[in-house]
Amino acid sequence: MAQTNLPEVSSKPFGQDGKALDGVRILDFTHVQSGPTCTQLLAWFGADVIKVERPGVGDITRGQLVDVKGADSLYFTMLNHNKRSITIDSKHKQGKRVLDALIKTCDVLVENFAPGALDRMGLTWDYIHKLNPRMIVASVKGFGPGPYEDCKVYENVAQCAGGSASTTGFRDGPPLVTGAQIGDSGTGLHLALGIVSALYQRMRTGRGQKVLCAMQDGVLNLARVKLRDQQRLKAGPLTEYSQYGEGIPFGDATPRAGNDSGGGQPGRILKCKGWENDPNAYIYFITQAPVWEPICDLIGEPTWKTDPEFATPKARLPKLNQIFGRIEQWTMTKTKFEVMNLCNAVDIPVGPILSMKEIAEEKSLRDTGTVVEVDHPKRGKYLSVGNPIKMSDSISEVTRSPLLGEHTDEILKDVLGFNPDEIEEIKKSGALSAPKKEEKAA
């Protein structure tokens, strides 16, 4: 039954009644990419995300792939918008005091430390749940329970262990990882869904729960069509894979399919005008059965519409090289955008291969806020990807990432309610600042 205990319908115009996650406070213990992707999404939806960072160092990505000396890297800034930063040494007694206060006041703790690291800080589930039974504790780990649960994991490890690499690339080449960060950002995205679901369930149960996303599982979820194909192999060759048409036998595992389409319709990446000098002058072309006739007309092969050698998808399968070769003769006479326009005019879906330069300059992506320009006090203006999820009543504005510890004072005072003496005591203890050089050396 649909939920009935909802408040009155808001009378405010859409987009002017706050944000979806207003009132939700996140203790953000994340670093690098997977966890920060998750908490950035929650921040865009209005959650107050308090990023806890190690004094003096912060999230390691602040200093990775640096392009502007003395400024936080794009790696960091592009994953930590709309958050506040507090520095705490989580292993210091006074740091623990601040963390305990944060645990009591936050709704969700999100972390992606190496396995066991949170427990070693003393922040076990039992400890957290005792302090705040409503707390949701959300974690990214490389692997779920099992033989690899203790392993540290980065993006490409997950792509390989999640089945993506073995099914990406060309049959006669090595496995390939993809440029899209499906292990890190993909898992962060999954975790965000787990968190909002747990927040929803908490409205009924009153209690928090653990939310775990293993990167291997997240990648496998995104590669699910390849596990589909693994099982279809039992019923015979995968006829939509090019290798079937080429008469190459299948082995016992889902093979790499090059640029074949995963949806069962033959597809290829074809050269367009200018390909000799432009590495991205290509287009993805799908010979979808329902648009076969307009394709024949466009490429100048009208007889293929009725010729039994070409007229049916089954008849075409063994001739895909010939067919795509002919289509490519046509696409090579046009730019990828001309092909796009001509094909879309007759409902043939095609995908121009857009470079990151073209995407950065694309006006429509700027207009929708998917690509945004952000100003930063230390690095100046830079481009970022805004919230890709658009909601009509929860509008996302992208604000710059915090400097290291920028909000330490306001969080201690306004969020945690420590009085000036207490703040002084905590600060003096060294729990919020980097150890002095001599201390470090000692």
Active-site annotation, residues = 184
> C-beta of 206: minimal distance to ligand COA in Å?
29
- In terms of Cβ atoms closer than 10 Å to its own Cβ (0-12, 13-18, 19+), residue 381 is exposed
Q: Is 88 in the site for ligand COA (CB under 6 A)?
A: yes
Distance CA 357, CA 304 (A): 38
By CB under 6 A, name the one of 26, 34, 44, 128 that touches ligand COA.
Answer: 34
C-beta of 30 vs 132, nearer to ligand COA: 30
Q: What is the DSSP string of 287-338?
A: --GGGHHHHHHHHT-GGGGT-TTTSSHHHHGGGHHHHHHHHHHHHTTS-HHH
Q: Residue 370: exposed, middle, or buried by beta-carbon count in 10 A (0-12, 13-18, 19+)?
A: middle
For residue 200, what are its two tokens?
Answer: 């929803």
Output 90 or 394, the one with its CB closest to ligand COA.
90
| Closest approach of ligand COA to the CB of residue 105, in Å | 18
Q: Which C-beta is closer to ligand COA: that of 80 or that of 394?
A: 80
Q: Which is nearer to ligand COA, 54 or 376 (CB)?
A: 54
Least Cβ distance, residue 144 to ligand COA (angstroms): 12
Q: At what angle do helices 215-222 and 184-205 cross, to 10 degrees?
A: 100
Among 44, 113, 285, 418, binds ligand COA (CB under 6 A): 113
Q: Is 93 in the site for ligand COA (CB under 6 A)?
A: no
Regarding 86 and contact with ligand COA (CB under 6 A), the answer is: no
Total residues interacting with ligand COA, rule: CB under 6 A: 23
d(CA 207, CA 238): 47
Closest approach, Cβ 153 to ligand COA, in A, equals 5
Map tokens 């994991």 to a residue.
153
Binding of residue 32 to ligand COA (CB under 6 A)? yes
Check if the beta carbon of residue 101 is closer than 8 Å to that of residue 418.
Answer: yes
131-190 residues in contact with ligand COA (CB under 6 A) are: 140-142, 152-154, 184
114 near ligand COA (CB under 6 A): yes
Question: With CB under 6 A as the contact rule, which of the stretches 108-116, 294-302, 333-341, 372-380 interacts with ligand COA?
Answer: 108-116
- Residue 136 tokens, joined: 């949701």
Positions 370 through 429 that interact with ligand COA (CB under 6 A):
none
Residue 218's CB: how many other CB atoms inside 10 A? Answer: 24
Q: Closest CB to ligand COA among 152 and 390?
A: 152
Largest CA distance in the chain: 88
Among 40, 90, 287, 408, binds ligand COA (CB under 6 A): 90
Q: Which CB, 76 or 244, lies closer to ligand COA?
A: 76
Distance, in Å, from the CA atom of 85 to the CA atom of 234, rounded to the nearest integer, reads 53
Residue nearest to ligand COA (CB): 114
Contact (CB, 8 A) for 87 and 95: no
CB of 221 to ligand COA, least distance (A): 16
CA trace torsion 154, 85, 69, 62 (10° rounding): -10
Binding site for ligand COA (CB under 6 A): 32-35, 52, 54, 88-91, 112-114, 117, 120-121, 140-142, 152-154, 184
